[in-house]
Amino acid sequence: MLGMALTAAGPDAGVDEVLLLDASPGVAQESLERGAGHRVSASLDDALSADTIVLAIPVDEIVRWLHDHGASVGAGALVIDTGSAKRGVVEAMRRTVPGHAHSMGGHPVAGTELPGPAGADPARLAGATFVLCAVRNDPEAAARSRALAQAAGARPFELDAGEHDRVIARTSHLPHLAACALATVAGALVEGGGDAPRLLASTGFAGATRLAAGDPTMVSSFLRANAREVSAALADLAAELALLGRALEDADPAALEEALAAGRASRRAVG
Amino acid sequence: MLGMALTAAGPDAGVDEVLLLDASPGVAQESLERGAGHRVSASLDDALSADTIVLAIPVDEIVRWLHDHGASVGAGALVIDTGSAKRGVVEAMRRTVPGHAHSMGGHPVAGTELPGPAGADPARLAGATFVLCAVRNDPEAAARSRALAQAAGARPFELDAGEHDRVIARTSHLPHLAACALATVAGALVEGGGDAPRLLASTGFAGATRLAAGDPTMVSSFLRANAREVSAALADLAAELALLGRALEDADPAALEEALAAGRASRRAVG
């Protein structure tokens, strides 16, 4: 997605050439065909000699890449990623990327539940928040990262990695788990057979569970990379559901109405 | 919404005139202006002398209307409702509507989170499931209800009221509670101030919490009318979230990936 936006942005936005490298050559080729870059490279040396290296892979693979290759990033190069959990990535960058290079934790908040090139739509980046989490006090890393985000049409937003992880646990990671749990609970009805579950699932159900359509490997990767905050958010959710359950059984209907009204107000405040 | 579809269907579909009656005259007038009927009536006698009486109000008000006026439904008339919890409505119809009339529990599964005329879009009824829950063994009630559902463009689906409530608790009512709880958990971030929650809430968050935008009075009404099944579904959800929480902290990443893959498969099976 980012590759498509940067390739489209072109030299006027400071993007001369976008090289594509993927562990699966087929995926790199498909990305190339969708306009996500100018050429495919199978050479890690190509990537390591680029001006800017964008790690757009699952979070655990980003960390592994940094451990394996971070020390080989050349002088003056910028390494940035697109993972949705930032603390571990930023720590790995701090440990592995040498001082002669630049690094930045990045998270374009413009996801889709579809993995790989098929789910990529650069229009989603237009006006989207592109979180930038500083690795070191490095004004050049900040300036070049902001320029990259802007070249992709997004809005750079600088945020501490820990604060990013605390917030994203509740605005994105927890909703993924809730969608999965809702789908599983409804899915248990299907085992009993009959058409009713399918016929009684409306657009409301589809919307509430859309995030459950995500690629399990990718989703598991960012959830585990942010496990501490996600666990805390899960506890908050369980407490809130228990409160709603008590309100549901309260003799006074006002309790449930008030809880629902508070949820609606919260959604407006966040959304 | 049903009024708009039936008014548009017209005499060819057996709809000669749609009368609008609302406790709030302003709402009835707004519905009329949106094409939901041919004229507004302020007279309960008008409604009671109609061939078909459609109770399109919150579930608790449906039950109250039946207790207050069900016994006055005229000979040969059909009473049907559009509430999303059916057991209590069907029981109230059985107790109150006289044997010279007909009654049917109805639920067009085509909701929107917006209440009243503003949220009504008759296109949502096209091809939608219109659940019909029998009150008595009454072939005429069944035939006329099917015809009404079809006139609105929907697909009639006959289902036991208890089974409807068991399924809809998991495909609709529980997702409403989950959306509210997710919104509340994320909303707590906003209290701390700062732009991060708003900037980090993507379309994924908006989709996962869309049902929290529903009218608290209407939502509370159907949740409470289906409290027993919703409570059971809440317990299922809590158990599933606890299982996901344990998988998240499992040393083996396969546990979480498998749970996410199962959720994705369930969503496909239901959706």
- What pLDDT is stored for residue B117 in this prediction? 60
Residue of chain B whose Cα is closest to the Cα of A251: B224
Taking the C-alpha atoms of residue A90 and residue B48, their distance in angstroms, rounded to an integer, is 69
In sequence order, what are the beta bridge partners of B55? B81
The span from the CA of A221 to the CA of A215, in Å, is 10
Give yes or no for a contact between B187 and B179, defined as CB atoms under 8 angstroms apart.
no
Looking at beta carbons, which residues of chain B come within 8 Å of A223? 248, 256
State the average pLDDT for chain A: 93
Answer whether A177 sits within 8 Å of B208, measured CB to CB: no
The count of residues in chain A is 271
Q: A185-201, pLDDT tens digit by residue?
A: 999 998 877 889 999 99
Task: Give the residue among A40, A38, A29 at the shortest CA–CA distance from A7.
Answer: A38
What pLDDT, on the 0 to 100 scale, is given for residue A110?
86
| CB-based contact, A166 to chain B, within 8 Å | yes
Determine, for residues A262 and B164 on separate chains, whether the beta-carbon distance falls below 8 Å. Answer: no
Q: According to the model, what pLDDT value does residue B126 have?
A: 92
Tokens coding B84:
């999303």
Work out the minimum CA distance from A46 to partner chain B, whole angstroms. 32
Closest residue of B to A125, CA-based? Answer: B202
Residue A221, both tokens = 């990767």
- What are A91-147's pLDDT values in tens digits? 999 999 999 999 999 999 987 655 556 667 888 899 999 999 999 999 999 999 999
Predicted local confidence at residue B155, as pLDDT: 97
Residue A175 and residue B244: Cβ atoms within 8 Å?
Answer: no
The pairing of beta strand B155-158 with beta strand A39-40: unpaired
Residues 81-110 (B) with a CB less than 8 A from some CB of A: 109-110
CA atoms within 13 A on the CB side of A13: 19
Output the pLDDT for position A116.
58
Closest CA to B270 of A33, A37, A200, A127: A200
Give pLDDT tens digits for A135-159.
999 999 999 999 999 999 999 999 9
pLDDT at B120: 72
Determine, for residues B200 and A238 on separate chains, whether the beta-carbon distance falls below 8 Å. Answer: no
Cβ of residue A213 closer than 8 Å to a chain B Cβ: yes
Phi and psi for B77 in degrees, rounded to 5?
Answer: -75, 150
Which of B 100-159 lie inside 8 A of A, CB atoms? 109-111, 113, 124, 128-129, 131, 157, 159
What is the rounded average pLDDT of the residues A64-79?
96
End-to-end Cα, chain B, rounded Å? 23
* Band (B208; pLDDT cuts 50, 70, 90): very high
Whole-number mean pLDDT of chain B? 93
Query: E strands within chain A?
Result: 19-20, 39-40, 52-55, 78-81, 102-108, 129-134, 155-158
The string of pLDDT tens digits covering residues B70-119 is: 999 999 999 999 999 999 999 999 999 999 999 999 999 987 655 556 66
Q: Give the pLDDT score at A202.
A: 85
Order of all β-strands in the sheet with B129-134: B52-55, B78-81, B102-108, B129-134, B155-158
8 Å CB contact between B128 and B154: yes
Which pTM does this prediction carry? 0.92
Distance CA A171, CA A182 (A): 17
Residue B12 sits at φ, ψ, to 5 deg, of: -60, -30
Task: For residue range B4-53, list pLDDT tens digits in order.
Answer: 999 999 998 889 999 999 888 888 999 999 999 999 988 888 889 899 99
Render pLDDT for B224-270 as a digit per residue (tens, 0 to 9): 999 999 999 999 999 999 999 999 999 999 999 999 999 999 999 99
| Range with lowest mean pLDDT among A46-50, A227-231, B68-72, B137-141 | A46-50
Q: Token digits for A90?
A: 């930023």
Per-residue pLDDT, A46: 85
Tell me which residue of A119, A130, A120 sits closest to A153, measured CA to CA: A130
pLDDT above 70 coverage of chain B, percent = 97
Closest CA to A47 of A8, A9, A77: A77
Q: Is the confidence at residue B165, as pLDDT, over 80?
A: yes
Neighbours of B29 (CB within 10 A): 14
